[in-house]
Chains A and B, each alone.
Chain A
């Protein structure tokens, strides 16, 4: 499979993502610079974490208008899978590819810690190999990860199964204490109505090898690989 990982000025999780895809999973992974206009023969696109364009104006606001994002818009419109992680999630909401927005953490603190995630919908390209009832332990590192959407959008997300992950405690309960940033309904990640674009604030690429303390994040990339394999075979 060919993964393309985007690079904006001040992306900083791009190399981690490529490392996991290449060295842990054994797939092709290359970078696309923000000024590029083509994604080449990408099977999937990863929009990585970081502080693109210095987070100026709003997180993701300027990256969303870079030339490569036009290619991502076209790729997504044709059903290509796109996963945004942390700043990548922020960019995808700014681009209108995902509903809602990410705002300043309610605590005003930059939170850098492990969180627990419960998968809410297992029937998507990003979650299909995650075992039922498996609680994922994955790190977060952000100051603006508080998920917000208006009531109508939120109701739609819940009704359509577009909430993919919620912050929970170790026993799987979505408590206020388990919510690191004040996200509405403990939402950690969502997908679009077509299920081919997803974003999450936690960093699965930082938890894809047991040497790093957790390999729970790997299953998200494995889901994507399996889904693309089935799509290719079809």
Chain B
């Protein structure tokens, strides 16, 4: 199994990276860019077979270490 985790800055947190990328896209002539948010993508390879147990474990890890709930949101899927 594999956990695919996406971590993004919370809306209330200023995201200067996203703003800079947005500026570059506009400068390059790409139309219709409303906003850019730069986050992180993690892939965790899991050796077990119990999907529900993996889900709980990944959720716990996301909350404790992989993201910082003060400034980031996360979502993930197990496949």
Residues of A within 8 A of B (CB): 57-58, 61-62, 65, 93-94, 100-101, 103-108, 146, 148-150, 182
In the complex where A101-B70, A148-B70, A148-B71 touch, is A107 in contact with B16 (Cβ < 8 A)? Answer: yes
Taking the closest CB of chain A, its distance from the CB of B60, in whole angstroms, is: 13
Taking the closest CB of chain A, its distance from the CB of B74, in whole angstroms, is: 12
B66 A57 Cβ-Cβ under 8 A? yes
Q: Which residues of A contact B68 (CB under 8 A)?
A: 58, 61, 94, 101
Q: Which of B12, B17, B20, B65 contacts A61 (CB 8 A)?
A: B65
How far, in whole Å, are A77 and B12 apart by their CA atoms in the complex? 31
B14 A182 Cβ-Cβ under 8 A? yes
In the complex where A148-B70, A148-B71, A149-B70 touch, is A104 in contact with B16 (Cβ < 8 A)? Answer: yes
In the complex where A100-B70, A101-B70, A148-B70 touch, is A106 in contact with B65 (Cβ < 8 A)? Answer: no
Q: Which residues of B contact A62 (CB under 8 A)?
A: 65
B1-31 contact mask (Cβ, 8 Å, vs A): 1 or 0: 0000000010011101100100000000000
Taking the closest CB of chain A, its distance from the CB of B64, in whole angstroms, is: 8
- Report the nearest A residue to B66, measured CB to CB: A57
How far, in whole Å, are A101 and B68 apart by their CA atoms in the complex? 8
A103 B14 Cβ-Cβ under 8 A? yes
Q: Which residues of B contact A93 (CB under 8 A)?
A: 70
What is the interface size of chain B, counting residues whose CB is below 8 A from a CB of the partner?
12
In the complex where A100-B70, A148-B71, A149-B70 touch, is A105 in contact with B16 (Cβ < 8 A)? Answer: yes
Taking the closest CB of chain B, its distance from the CB of A40, in whole angstroms, is: 27
A103 B13 Cβ-Cβ under 8 A? yes
Q: Which residues of A contact B71 (CB under 8 A)?
A: 101, 103, 148
Taking the closest CB of chain B, its distance from the CB of A37, in whole angstroms, is: 19
Cβ-closest 5 pairs across A and B: A101-B70, A101-B71, A108-B16, A106-B16, A148-B13
How far, in whole Å, are A161 and B27 apart by their CA atoms in the complex? 44
Besides A101-B68, A101-B70, A105-B16, 13 other A-B contacts (C-beta < 8 A): A57-B65, A62-B65, A93-B70, A101-B71, A103-B13, A106-B16, A108-B20, A148-B13, A148-B14, A148-B71, A149-B70, A150-B12, A182-B16
In the complex where A100-B70, A103-B71, A149-B70 touch, is A65 in contact with B65 (Cβ < 8 A)? Answer: yes
How far, in whole Å, are A57 and B20 apart by their CA atoms in the complex? 21
In the complex where A101-B71, A149-B70 touch, is A108 in contact with B14 (Cβ < 8 A)? Answer: no
